[in-house]
Amino acid sequence: MSYNLLKGKRGIIFGALDENSIAWKTAERIHEEGGTFVLTNAPIAMRMGKIKDLAEKTGSEIIPADATKVEDLEALVDGAMEKLGGKLDFVLHSIGMSVNVRKGNHYTDMNYDYTTKGWDVSAVSFHKTMQSLYKKDAMNEWGSIVALTYMAAQRVFPDYNDMADNKAYLESIARSFGYFFGKDKKVRVNTISQSPTPTTAGQGVKGFDGFIAYADKMSPLGNATALDCANYTVSLFSDLTKRVTLQNLFHDGGFSNMGVSQAVMETFMDE
């Protein structure tokens, strides 16, 4: 169902890899709600994914950019404004990567070059993106910037590894930059802390199926899907949330406020 919530709004969507990704689902929903956008991803991710199909489906242009390179981001922001015909109203940052996780390095035995690469891609890229937008005055007043995160930033999930640190860093950047973006440009900045979601990126984490099953049993409403997250993101890009900023918004079926659930207890009790 469409409500025309984003009619006339323009933006950039980072990180749509394939139809499982939250960014992909969000792009589809933004398109249905009347928004227009430029899609972007790192050149290597673009070769792996199916972003061209999404561009075709939504009538969007693609501008490749390495989100760790300021010159790429500046070219992306300029290109997006040129192609879309004006300043931007929304930006979705949906990228993250841990080389330590990929290489199977335990948290107590990290390769710090990999660690640096991980936080550059997963967190500092968000600062670089916002700095490029801010310096170029590329956002309309009451625009909205959202990054995706996970509750491992607050609580221990042993196999989430250094991605937990990356997400904590990401959330801090959202608050700190969000203050200046709000005060100086009337732009809001939030993070969505999503349920574990079976995306191509998420499934790289060891024991991920267990994460998903456990979270589902713990949450009174069950896990939020990628499509649910897309809908929530649309609400944050709309004018209905104009005063929501500097928030880390838990979108997890209630998981974040649970201590234990009946369903989880039952798995530990003798029949």
User: Catalytic residue at 150?
Assistant: yes
Tell me which residue has tokens 């919530």.
5
Strand 188-194 versus strand 61-62 pairing type: unpaired
C-alpha to C-alpha distances, 34 to 31, 37, 51, 117, 238, nearest whole angstrom: 5, 10, 20, 36, 11
**Whole-number Å distance between alpha carbons of 101 and 208:** 12
Any known ligand binding at 51? no
Q: What is the dihedral of CA 188, 45, 31, 135, to 10 degrees?
A: 30
Kindly name the residue from 160, 169, 214, 232 that is annotated as catalytic: 160
Any known ligand binding at 192? no
- At residue 65, φ and ψ (nearest 5 deg) are -155, 135
Any known ligand binding at 167? yes
User: Catalytic residue at 134?
Assistant: no
Sign of CA dihedral 263, 264, 269, 271: positive
**Whole-number Å distance between alpha carbons of 196 and 194:** 6
Kindly name the residue from 150, 169, 214, 232 that is annotated as catalytic: 150
Any known ligand binding at 207? no
Query: Mind telling me the catalytic residues?
Result: 150, 160
Q: Residues annotated as binding site?
A: 15, 21-22, 95, 167
Binding residues for NAD(+): 15, 21-22, 95, 167
